[in-house]
Each structure stands twice: as C-alpha cells, then as structure tokens.
Structure 1
Amino acid sequence: MQRTLDADEWRGWHTGGFPVGSWRSRDGELQAIAGAPRIDLISRQRYQDFTFRFEFALPIAGNSGVLCRVEEDVELSWHSGPEMQLLDDAGHPDGREPTTRNGALYGLMAAEQETSMEPGEFIEAALTVYDGHVEHWLRGRRVLRYRIDDPSLHARIAQSKFAGFPRFAQADKGHLVLQHHGEAARFRRLSIETPD
C-alpha cells in the first residue's frame, strides 16, 4: 500500500500539532524555517517495514536528515532513531568526515558513493527498511545498505556518541522524523509504501 504523506501526516516533536513557528507547508513542500526553533517533524503513524520516498533541497551548507524507527519517549529524536544524513558536503564542515556526509548513516557508516548537490536543487531520495535491512537511495542509486541488528554496527554504536542512549536503534517499529537543523531544508513528493 502506497500513500502520500502531506502536512496532515506530520506533527511537531513532543507536540500534538503541526509546528507552524518552525515549519511551513507551502506549494506542496514541507519547509523548515531558517533560524526558527529546531522542532523536528514526526510522522503521526509508526512504521516497521516501509519504503519512504521523497525529494529534498538544502541551502548552502545545509544540513538535515531522515530518521526511522524513532520512539518519542526520549529527549531528542536522534537519541532513538538512526539517521539518513542529508548534507551539502561541499559547504558544511560535516562534509569532511565520511560518516557524516550526504547519504551516510549519521556518525556510524559512510555512504558507498558520494552524491553532490547544488544549493536549492531537489534530489530524489528513498529510505527503505524491511525485516531489519536498511537501504539509503539518492538520485536513484543505492548509496548504503546495512542491517540494523548487525553486531558490527552495534559495536560501532558502542564506540560512538550514541553509546549513552540505550534506546538508540532498538525499536522494531517507530516514527519517521524530518530533522530541523536550523537551516531552510525543503521536502516534497513524500510518500510511503508499506506491505499491508
């Protein structure tokens, strides 16, 4: 089953409604407001196995991310959900580190190939999770694949900044999150496909 995820399908992190002071819904886009309070968007529904398709655009030095299997009983979304990094590698300092470049599993695994972008350019992307198998797609190319229960991944987690968050990458079902990192990230054509 595939369906569109418009603004009605999202709410603010730890809130019940759409965070109009931090995001706007305009011209078919979900737009993070630059300089506004950093309130992430969280899907109203929880998902286990899915393909989440979207297009995103970032400003110069822009930074955002899509997190999956997020549980909301933590302080911040990244304390729970693994993140597909979305980044202007050329403009942002995180672009110098492979595990924080565009398409990476943030802070843990580098993308297998680089995906450059121009500021304001929309890029087709997808995040797929099936039976614990995760794939990151950019521009129609798979740039990373991993298993969320891989012992080698959890060994990396134990040596990372996520080690202090026991809920990280533990849920087998959870919310999607669009990260507000302070910049004017834009998302459009969001849809999700699930087995049922």
Structure 2
Amino acid sequence: MKRIVFFTVAINIIGSMAFGMPGYLAKVIPPARKAGWIVLFDGKSLTGWHLFNKTGEIENWKVEDGALVCHGFKGPSGAGDLVSDQQFENFELSWEWKVDKGSNSGVFYHILEGPKFKRASETAPEYQIIDDVGFPAKLEEWQKTGADYAMNVPNDKKRLKPTGEWNTGKIVFNKGHVEHWLNGKKILEFDAWTEDWNKQKKEGKWKDYPDYGSGKTGAVGFQDHGNKAYFKNIKIRQIK
C-alpha cells in the first residue's frame, strides 16, 4: 500500500513539473489540463505575473482566499495593471470575477510592452468589468460590463449578477474573430482588423493611439483602476 501511495505522489510531482504547475493543481485539475488548458493563476501566489512594464515586487495585487485581488496602485494610471509573463496569439481565456460597489476594472489581451507605452490600454483591447448599477457616474453602453471597451457593446443576452457575487467571463480570439461571454452566454462578437473595425478605431476613443489593437500576439492582463476587483480560476488554452 505504501508503495502505491508513493508511486501516485511521484507521478503527480513529475506531472506537475512537466506542465509547470504546483503539485496540488496537478491533482485538482487533470481534466482541464488534458483538455489543453494552461492555469495562469495557481490560487496561492503571483508566480507568472508582473506589473505592466515593470519587474520586481508587486504590492497592489494580493492573493486572498484563493483569489487574485486588486487593492489599487498608488501612482500613474495604468502603472498597476497586472500582466502575464506568457504571451498568446489565438486563445480561449476563462476566469471568474466580482467587484465591490462602484468598482471598475477589466481584462486585457494582446498587451504590448515597451518604453513607448504608459499603460496596457494603449495597445490592448479590453473586456470591460465595472459595477454597472452602482458606479458613481453615468456610463455609456460601451463602458459597461462585457463591452469591448470603447468599441463594441453587449447584446440583450447579457445577465450580470449583483455586486459582490461571482460572475464567469470568457474571451475567445481566433484569427481576428472575437467573442465575449458572460455567465455562460455569448454577449458580443466582432472581427478585428477589418475595414469597419479600422473605421471605428480612427473615429473613436483610440484615434490618437495608433498601436491600439495592433498586436497579433501578446500578454493577457487585469486592469488596476484604483478599485477593488477579484479574479480566480484563471485559465487559457491556445487555439491552433
């Protein structure tokens, strides 16, 4: 019996090393791993993440009760955005999230970093996350949860849970075709880099940001908008 237990533990350790994840995750999520999912947040640490355009200690994001929690960066806007070390091209990104009353955040993809950029939003499209009901200012539809921020708005299938309750979010990006999902429903889809998309970009909020949406490959990340926001069960799988 002891030999069997030892052998099982050894297999778990070897498997976890091979897939670059902690041993406890290798035990908990073998179906997800088998389906090609990469776990981006291990529920215990900030391993695999960094602040936008920075290295070193991360002070404004904490791990609390298995969730990744934004506490608000004291500094320039965008300097506290959390960015994955890994980069992705075509993918399906899935996560759970909630916000406090009045909070604002978002999920970025295809983030480009470098000295010419001050914040992730200058290059990265954003799945908007916000307290639609309790935010202390009037919101346009393109500013509300689930929107492709400042570009495309959700459809009538959007069903948002009350502030403080967990929602599920998903972004699918496949060769320029983009889908936003909220709580199991597809609430938005569009095609990037088309003539219509370029027209929207040039006439809207991003007209002075020529690199917005230009990345074909880049990191994913979470926005620090100075408010508390909570994320967990963050995983991604690449689409070939």
With normalisation by structure 1, the TM-score equals 0.93
Partner of 1:15: 54
Distance 1:94 1:87, change over 3 A: farther
Distance 1:147 1:23, change over 3 A: same
Matched to 1:58, the amino acid is V
Supply the distance in 1 between the matched residues of 2:161 and 2:121 (Cα, whole angstroms). 24
Structure 1 residue 26, shift from structure 2 partner: 2.2
Give the one of 27, 39, 52 matched to 2:65.
27
Give the one of 7, 18, 37 matched to 1:2.
37
SS in structure 2 at match of 1:192: strand
SS in structure 2 at match of 1:64: strand
Give the one of 121, 125, 128 matched to 1:78.
121
Supply the distance in 2 between the matched residues of 1:126 and 1:94 (Cα, whole angstroms). 26
Partner of 1:102: 145
**Contact (CA 8 Å) 1:54, 1:187: kept in 2 or not?**
yes
In terms of fraction of residues, the more helix-rich structure is: 2
**Contact (CA 8 Å) 2:174, 2:239: kept in 1 or not?**
no
CA deviations 1:55-75 (Å, max 9, x no partner) are 000001111111111101211
Structure 1 gaps of 5+ residues are none
SS in structure 2 at match of 1:96: coil
Structure index of larger Rg:
2
CA deviations 1:18-55 (Å, max 9, x no partner) are 51x21101222110014644500001011001111000
**Taking CA–CA contacts closer than 8 Å with sequence separation of 6 or more, which of the two structures ends up with the larger relative contact order?**
1
Matched to 2:143, the amino acid is T
**What are the equivalent positions in structure 2 for 1:1-196 lying under 5 Å apart?**
1-6=36-41, 7-19=46-58, 21-34=59-72, 36-37=74-75, 39-73=80-114, 74-92=117-135, 96-113=139-156, 114-195=158-239
With normalisation by structure 2, the TM-score equals 0.77
**Contact (CA 8 Å) 2:73, 2:224: kept in 1 or not?**
no
Q: How many residues align?
A: 195
CA deviations 1:70-93 (Å, max 9, x no partner) are 101211100000111011111125
Supply the distance in 2 between the matched residues of 1:163 and 1:67 (Cα, whole angstroms). 19
Aligned alpha-carbon RMSD (Å): 1.6
**Contact (CA 8 Å) 1:53, 1:191: kept in 2 or not?**
yes
Matched to 1:78, the amino acid is S
Distance 1:116 1:86, change over 3 A: same
% identical equivalent positions:
25
Structure 1 residue 195, shift from structure 2 partner: 3.2
Structure 1 residue 161, shift from structure 2 partner: 2.1
Matched to 1:177, the amino acid is G
